[in-house]
Amino acid sequence: MSGTTLAEWLRAQDDTALVALLRARPDLATPPPADTTVLATRIGSRASVARACEDLDTLTLTALEALLVLDADLTPVTKAAVQELFGKTDIGPVLDTLRSRALLWGDDDAISTPPASRDAVNPFPCGLGRSVPRLADADLTALEPDELRVLQTLAAGPPVGQTKDAAHVVSFANAKTPIQKLLARGLLVRRDALTVELPREIGLKVRGDRPLGSIQTTEPPLTTFRRDLSDVDHTGGGEALELSRHVETLLKSWSEDPPAVLRSGGVGVRELRKLAKDLDVDERRAALLVELVVNAGLVADTEGVEPEWVPTTQTDTWMVAAPEHRWATLAQAWLDLPRLPGLIGQRDDRDRLLNPLAPELNRPGAPRDRKRILEALAALAPGTAVTDPDELAAVLAWRAPRRGGRLRDELVRWTVDEGTQVGVLAHNAITAQGRTLLTEGPAAAAKRLGDALPAPVDHVLVQADLTVVAPGRLDPELADEIALVADVESAGSATVYRVREGSVRRAFDAGKSAADLHELFRARSRTPVPQSLTYLIDDAARKHGRLRGGAAGSFLRCDDPVLITEVLSHAAAERLALRKIAPTVVVSPLPLAEVLDGLRAAGFAPAAEGPDGHVLDLRASGRRIAGKGRRRPVQPTTPSDEQLGELVRLVRAGDRAATTTGGARVSVPGHLGAGPSATLALLQRAARDGRSVLVDFVDSHGTAARRVITPHVVGGGVLEGVDVSYGEVRRFPLHRITSAALVEDDRA
């Protein structure tokens, strides 16, 4: 049976079919193919076939493998022969899908597939070995049960097995094991000293009425259930706020004490554990936060002699942003993250622990796979949740079994877990802000989250046990004031703070007075301020600031000479190099901040004093380095139908030019301009005869391009003519034209 070649079949397709082909397989269009022959060669390359198979579902891939079982890569086969392998399953639509991607071509009575398909798809299609035609009529009825069991095992796939019984060739009379007997019978093929292979013909006989084995004709069921949409969005909103709070704490912590960059890259185990303890989260969540802040551009490597992970100047902008915009920055950073945080804590091939930010976590395809998983959830009705992420993994594996590699199923579980922590998912369903992030981007998602979050509250509830309850999201000003005077004890939809003597002193150190704190709680608490809180503030205020420090290096002053004496008699006085210069004044050569910290550690409660006698806030603002910008994945540009149509027209023109010139192309000689040239003569002849010319040229940006031109004027270093595709008059400098060929005349 003979059939058309791929190039001939492509030429017979209409422009709409070729545009659809180029859209389904975009790698074929870069660089633009010169003609159909070049396009056909590119279609049949192993790399292009493998790439085209990535989006095929299990049934379509099985159909392609079935074609290889019939050796359609060597000689054309019929649709009926393929259908026979599938039984009652109609494979017409599946073959149409393969044909639209040029993974097969030809009419139903002569179907072919690219020769590279066998290497690109599966060297053992459908789990069957290579063909041994002489075994087509082999008789298996005389086999012993143990021999038949070996054949059944290999027929189930893969068709090769490792065994020491293949080391020596023996006759049937000397064969002792089932493998040796089958080799002696010729029903197994010895590939090397340790490998045997079951021939395709024997595998088909053993499988009987199921020649392709177990075929998954439909995708696995996905069990779902309905969740209240407001519950999903509310839970996701809470996670978004929690994410923002944890990242804020991380940035403040690393501003004061940035972790070192490991020599192999990343963050060390000790630093990760410290961060997890500071945030009161597990190490997996801490690791995810680290990955997010770096990809969001909020933290970067200083790249110095002793590099550290330090917050960037973008941190300050992020800190003052509204909660929904904070979240959108982090959520988009997760969506674009070209890495797999799920690998953190595992070990590589050399048994080395994989740390956060380690180079081994890089996966350029991670954003694409992550988005594909989220889009599958977004395709469900709003509020629809999946019962088990493993079922979702099975569905996605059926839809595209060649995507994701060996971590394909783990990627689904990791994405669901990470998406829940980020607030894109909740209860195994996608949130409204997550759906908006996928379809409209971070700005729209931030607005959607802002609309869904409850309005900030402007009050707190002070309890008798010195806890302060925030019954919702506090407005930014109140949140800062409460965070200054109290420590977070638990977070959630209602945040619980606790007021301690140390937190009150922190507020005093920042310049607050006892009157300021009393007024804060009086004005902002919806419950009566307990007397215990009033006593705590007043007691701390009496102790605070009795010692006053200034720069000498630094000085301490106090109206009470007894307290000065007490300070000087303490062991810390020698370490801080304190020296009394007056009954109520002590000086030190050390910086004021260091002296005050040392005295506080010794149990005293000094305050910093400015030139005007007021309390100074000496808290460090934290280190910052210049931002390096976010790591954004490279988004391939999607050509429009008009652009693809133009490419198809150029391919057609290349075919006509090849027909006219016998496949030759006239190239510009190096002495163009010094005298007559073949190209110049060709262009002048085309202008004289009204013929169209296929011109290759380099534009003003240095980009190679091609156009079909009907020349009007050729001279003065310029080609002027009508661009056939657009009907516009264009001018081309002759020195930019690299080759030209006459296009076959389409006129009647």
Q: What average pLDDT values come out for the chain (748 residues) when binned by 10 residues?
A: 81 92 90 86 91 92 93 92 90 93 92 90 88 86 87 88 76 79 86 86 88 87 93 91 93 92 89 92 94 94 88 90 93 95 89 90 92 95 94 94 86 96 95 95 93 84 90 83 86 82 88 90 91 90 80 83 90 89 89 88 87 71 65 65 85 74 49 52 82 80 77 83 77 82 59
Q: How far is CA 37 from the centre of its chain?
A: 36
Contact between 203 and 160 (Cβ < 8 Å): no
Strands 548-550 and 607-608: parallel
What is the distance between the alpha carbons of residues 200 and 155, in angstroms, rounded to a whole number? 9
Helix (H, G, I), strand (E, B) or coil at 440: helix
- pLDDT confidence of residue 622: 66
> Dihedral angle at the C-alpha atoms of 670, 671, 673, 675, nearest 10 degrees?
-140
Cα within 13 Å of Cα(283), Cβ side: 15
- Scan for tokens 């990955």, then name that residue: 291
Residue that the structure tokens 């006892």 belong to: 514
DSSP for residue 105: B
Q: Is the peptide bond between 31 and the residue preceding it cis, with omega within 30 degrees of 0?
A: yes
Cβ neighbour number for residue 180 with a 10 Å cutoff? 23
How far apart (Å, rounded) are the C-alpha atoms in residues 658 and 669?
Answer: 20
Quote the pLDDT of residue 688: 83
DSSP reduced 3-state for 148:
helix
pLDDT at 123: 86
* Beta bridge pairs of residue 469: 461, 496
- Per the CB < 8 A criterion, the answer to whether 474 and 456 are in contact is yes
pTM above 0.85, yes or no: no
Contacts of 272 (CB under 8 A, 6+ apart): 283, 286, 287, 290, 355, 356
Cα distance between residue 10 and residue 116, in whole Å: 18
